[in-house]
Amino acid sequence: MRQNSVNALTKSVIFEVEIKNTIQLMILIQSPLKSILVNLFTLLATAWVGAQTTISGIVTAKNGTPIEGANIYLDGTYDGASTDASGAFSFVTEEEGVQTLVISYVSYEPFMMAADVSQMKNLKIALREDVNSLDTVVISAGTLEASDNSKVSVLKPLDVVTTASALGDFVGALQTLPGTTTVAEDGRLFVRGGDAGETQIFIDGIRVFTPYSPTTNNIPTRGRYSPFLFDGITFSTGGYSAEYGQALSSVLLLNTVDEPDQEKTDVAVMTVGGGIGNTQKWEKSSLSFNTSYINLAPYIAIFPDRNDWDKPFEAVAGEAVYRQQLKGGLLKVYAAFDSTNFKLTQEDIDLPEGLDFQLKNYNFYTNTSYSTDINDSWKLDAGGSFTISKNDILFLDNNIENRENSAHLKVKLRKRFSNRFKLSFGAEQFITDFTEDFRNPEFSDNYGFNNNLSAVFAESDIIFSRKFALKLGLRGEYSDLFDQYTLSPRSSVAYKTGKNSQLSVAYGDFYQQPFNDVLKFERNLEAQHTQHYILNYQYVANNRILRAEAYRKTYDKLVTYDTEFPVTNSVIQNNGDGYARGFDLFWRDNNTIKNVDYWISYSFLDTERMYRNYPVAATPSFANKHNLSTVVKWWINDWKSQIGFSHQFASGRTYTNPNVPGFLQEKTKAYNSLSFNWAYLISQQKILYFSVNNVLGTKNINGYQYPSTADANGNFNRRTVRPAADQFFFVGFFWTISKDGSDNQLDNL
């Protein structure tokens, strides 16, 4: 950028010089001989004798420290010098008149001064620090970055596939970060006392409407998308930018790779299925696709679990990304299709013969984004997504068929006024069309809704100095369904307290519409609301990160209803409220022990809410007070192996015991799981991967089920709900075939 403007300046200067020369030549040619000679001598004289000007001065930092090695020159000329140890410089030029003096030095803003060369003597120039440089304060409250390019990255994209407990699911890897709670039977992200639906996921800034594969009770879901397609993950556990809305607790931002490294074919053979992928590159474009087939039947035949499977879990998935560079911009088209189906009978205390459940899901998602620099200071991002999701569910003799069509359109403009002041603003539209058919022998019904939501947002970044930065944002939304306007201010401030440490504070208002399970029965509602207050401290040095964050959230307008779950005749209202408060600690270190990288997250959570069918405010069963996770990765060079461990500890979760008075008044025992993985590089292109979840076979308890009616003695005898299987084994073989044969599987490690 800087170079460009200097180049542009240079070009115009050169152009002027050329014009001068041409004019002089023309004069020469037109003049009589005498004048030619006179002119010639004058010219020669000026060139050889006169008009040599010495330019000199001293360059320092703002605080007066001399800068050594700064580059000083007259723009568009060869005349210049470097500063010495005392910051002094001096050089001779033959240029005359007004010239531009440029001073540049790494991590300082370039200095330019236009003046007559004769006045460029004994200059005293103090350079301003470049606020784009590395040690500038970063607004960090609430945000956890997983990226190679970010200044402060708590997680790296590769951690998704190398964290022992994650099994290649990016959501699984995020569950080792602070602010999340362990809800083993669910698999989705629960953040700081919020329900899983309070977290929204975005790919390249565009919303994903159905991010998880659907599943049933007590079988954890997985994120739908392959971690290899993303090179940046930002996980915000609160206080996020005004650009993102419709999320009460958290946003997860995934960015797809801009340009793949190489043409290759990937083959995966696993105990649970297989996959094949291919990447093709052309001069200005590239195409990657990935397909996978997962079938748990052979695995369940060898290691039966607590469910009685008629049709074990089967999934077919395919994704493709096409990228095209257009003049100054990049177009990305992403499409993913997957189909899941399974049928099983689960234990149920009210049904001696068990609960039959069958599910078929088809999901299609496409996302197009375009990003371009309009000029040096304006940037445009535009995009849209479209989802079709179809579920066909059969349980007992009830048949539910639903279909969701959703779209998101978004445009955002960014204007850079200077390195210190940036403004972005945009508009977006969400459209959802949901229909559901419910049928059983006695009853059938059909219902659904259309939901249109429009939003505008604006945000400014003000960097006062390397030490002090401020972000102010405002988001306005209009819901067509509720005919409701909402306004959410957001702000955060960061201050650098030392060379490696900083303090940030954030505040924000967040609105989110009730979820589909409620909207399909009741539209006379309004948006649920929460406020976040966050205080964050961060210390980053030598590959070590310490992050401590305290927060408080207040909820209001939460959805309540008077039946066990929402049905056609439920009374559904916005009468709920609640709070969540606590603190998170995170420590990552890959410096102290050679070849060992480890991190520890601890979260303390205190929350209560009145929502759904709660008779009183209580701690929901998805919230645990203490969460501790430890992840260790050890690279053993002699074995060509990476060995990893991860341990999750979560204190007990609440449940209601109908034998004693109260609601959600008792707690399960604590959850413990130690996972192990081993990745062995057979050669550059072949990797063998082995992992076990819950190595120690700890008997964890997800909760208890009580019968709907008491026995003859008036007692409710409970059934313990355990995970479908205590342990999970995985063996996979991955092979990358690329053109030159020396590329390797390291990037899959």
Partner 1 sequence: MKKLLLVCVVLISTGTFAQSKYQQGMEKAFELWGADKPWEAANLFERIAQAEPENWLPPFYVAQINVFNSFGESDKEKMIAQMNKARDFLNDAKSLTKDNPEILVLEAQLLTAWVVYDGQQYGMKYSPKIAELYQQASVLAPENPRVVLGKAQWDIGTARFFGQPTDKYCADIEKAIALFESEVPAGEFHPRGGGEYAAQVLQENCGN
Smallest gap from Cβ 177 to partner 1, in A, equals: 18
Residue spans of beta strands (DSSP E) within 639-695: 641-650, 654-655, 666-667, 671-683, 686-693
Interface with partner 1 includes 28 (CB under 8 A)?
Answer: yes
Residue with tokens 């408080």: 552
**CB-CB neighbours of 543 under 10 Å:** 11
Tally the residues of the chain.
749
Interface with partner 1 includes 76 (CB under 8 A)?
Answer: yes
The strand order across the sheet containing 71-74 reads 80-82, 71-74, 98-104, 111-116
Interface with partner 1 includes 420 (CB under 8 A)?
Answer: no
Interface with partner 1 includes 544 (CB under 8 A)?
Answer: no
Could you say which of 19, 26, 45, 106 contacts partner 1 (CB under 8 A)?
Answer: 106
> Which two tokens mark 363?
């999901």
Q: Is 73 or 365 the residue whose CB approaches partner 1 more closely?
A: 73
Interface with partner 1 includes 43 (CB under 8 A)?
Answer: yes
Smallest gap from Cβ 378 to partner 1, in A, equals: 20
**CB-CB neighbours of 385 under 10 Å:** 24
Interface with partner 1 includes 29 (CB under 8 A)?
Answer: yes
Interface with partner 1 includes 446 (CB under 8 A)?
Answer: no
Residue with tokens 């001068």: 20
φ, ψ for residue 637 (rounded to 5)? -60, -45
Could you say which of 398, 543, 568, 708 contacts partner 1 (CB under 8 A)?
Answer: 543
Could you say which of 60, 71, 531, 657 contacts partner 1 (CB under 8 A)?
Answer: 71
Q: Is 47 or 115 the residue whose CB approaches partner 1 more closely?
A: 47
Interface with partner 1 includes 500 (CB under 8 A)?
Answer: no
Q: Which stretch binds partner 1 (CB under 8 A): 103-111, 183-191, 211-219, 286-294?
A: 103-111
Residue with tokens 């964890």: 700
Query: What's the rounded Cα separation, in Å, for the pair 175 and 198?
Result: 15
Interface with partner 1 includes 52 (CB under 8 A)?
Answer: no
Interface with partner 1 includes 709 (CB under 8 A)?
Answer: no
Q: Which stretch binds partner 1 (CB under 8 A): 65-73, 171-179, 299-307, 486-494?
A: 65-73
DSSP state string for 463-483: EEETTEEEEEEEEEEEETTTT
Query: What's the rounded Cα separation, in Å, for the pair 250 and 257?
Result: 23
Q: What angle do CA 70, 76, 82 make, to 5 degrees?
A: 20
Interface with partner 1 includes 325 (CB under 8 A)?
Answer: no
Contacts of 442 (CB under 8 A, 6+ apart): none
Q: Is 323 helix (H, G, I), strand (E, B) or coil?
A: strand
Contact string (CB under 8 A) for partner 1, positions 571-600, x = contact = -------------------x------x---
Interface with partner 1 includes 82 (CB under 8 A)?
Answer: yes
Smallest gap from Cβ 604 to partner 1, in A, equals: 30
Contacts of 642 (CB under 8 A, 6+ apart): 162, 633, 634, 635, 636, 678, 679, 749
Q: Is 1 or 115 the residue whose CB approaches partner 1 more closely?
A: 1
Interface with partner 1 includes 354 (CB under 8 A)?
Answer: no
Interface with partner 1 includes 740 (CB under 8 A)?
Answer: yes
How many of the chain's residues bind partner 1 (CB under 8 A)? Answer: 57
CB of 606 closer than 8 Å to CB of 580: yes
Smallest CA-to-CA distance from 539 within 496, 501, 591, 584 is with 501
Q: Which stretch binds partner 1 (CB under 8 A): 35-43, 192-200, 395-403, 608-616?
A: 35-43
Query: What's the rounded Cα separation, in Å, for the pair 291 and 270?
Result: 14
Residues 193-232 that bind partner 1 (CB under 8 A): none
Residues 107-146 that bind partner 1 (CB under 8 A): 107, 133-135
Could you say which of 62, 121, 699, 739 contacts partner 1 (CB under 8 A)?
Answer: 739
Smallest gap from Cβ 748 to partner 1, in A, equals: 8
Could you say which of 291, 630, 684, 727 contacts partner 1 (CB under 8 A)?
Answer: 684
Interface with partner 1 includes 95 (CB under 8 A)?
Answer: no
Interface with partner 1 includes 657 (CB under 8 A)?
Answer: no
Q: Is 147 or 213 the residue whose CB approaches partner 1 more closely?
A: 147
CB of 90 closer than 8 Å to CB of 56: yes
Query: What's the rounded Cα separation, in Å, for the pair 564 and 568?
Result: 12
Residue spans of beta strands (DSSP E) within 70-152: 71-74, 80-82, 88-93, 98-104, 111-116, 123-127, 143-147
Interface with partner 1 includes 148 (CB under 8 A)?
Answer: yes
Residues that bind partner 1 (CB under 8 A): 3, 6-7, 10-11, 21, 24-25, 28-29, 33, 36, 40, 43-44, 47, 69, 71, 73, 75-78, 80-82, 102, 104, 106-107, 133-135, 148, 156, 158, 261-262, 264, 542-543, 590, 597, 635, 640, 681, 683-684, 738-740, 742-744, 746-747, 749
